[in-house]
Amino acid sequence: MLNTKTLKTLGNEWVKGDYHRIYFDVADFYPEFHELSKTQQSKLTAVKLWFDVNTGKFVYKSFDNVDASVEMAIDAIRSAATDPEPEPKIAVPQPVETAQPPVAPEYAAKFDEARASGEAVLLHYHMEDCDDETEDCDQDSVETYALPNGTIKTERSHSW
């Protein structure tokens, strides 16, 4: 059985209204994180991973296909926070629809700003390896925006 007290020591607790979550940095629990490419590291650090104390389930949001990597981090967290009793089966987390605004407080404010201004607001910016072999560039600029309608938009631009 997962020990909530131990989970709190492994992550950052957040309580607001009916929400009670413990957020985790995937990089802290992913085996051999520092041996990954900078691109993979960037993708994993962009993942929002939390344990919902009310439902007893892990949930995550990701803009890239890193499901298997996040599952490995969740397994590591479960191992670290499991009481010696037999562990009950916990449902495998499902990615949350990206049309919903991220729940982290710093992202909620960005979505509020986008709604109020009617303009896209930058959530996240990073550089990663070019994803188009036909282009003559090494790095792409990747920008993720909060839109006024509550959805997320990611733009990729080649840099020459």
Q: What angle do CA 102, 103, 104 make, to 5 degrees?
A: 100
Please state the pTM of the whole predicted model: 0.48
Domain extents for the chain? 4-81, 105-159
Q: What is the enclosing helix (H) or strand (E) of 146?
A: strand 139-146
CA 100 and chain centroid, separation: 13
Specify the pLDDT at position 43: 81
Mean pLDDT of 30-48: 82
Specify the pLDDT at position 146: 80
Of the candidates 142, 22, 152, the residue with the CA atom closest to the CA atom of residue 77: 22
Question: Which DSSP symbol is given to 46?
Answer: T
Residue 45: band (very low, low, confident or very high) from pLDDT cuts 50, 70, 90: confident
- Answer whether 33's CB lies under 8 Å from 19's CB: no
Q: Is residue 63 classed as helix, strand or coil in its secondary structure?
A: coil
Question: Which DSSP symbol is given to 95?
Answer: B
- What is the amino acid identity at position 58? F
More confident site: 141 or 9:
9
State pLDDT tens for residues 94-142.
544 444 444 466 677 888 888 899 888 888 777 888 777 777 777 778 7
State pLDDT tens for residues 47-97.
888 999 999 998 888 766 666 777 888 888 888 887 665 555 555 555 444
Specify the pLDDT at position 51: 92
Query: What would the two tokens of residue 104 be?
Result: 């982290």
Residue 20: band (very low, low, confident or very high) from pLDDT cuts 50, 70, 90: very high
Of the candidates 4, 23, 5, the residue with the CA atom closest to the CA atom of residue 14: 23
- Give the span between the Cα atoms of 121 and 106, in whole angstroms: 12
- Answer whether 74's CB lies under 8 Å from 58's CB: yes
More confident site: 5 or 92:
5
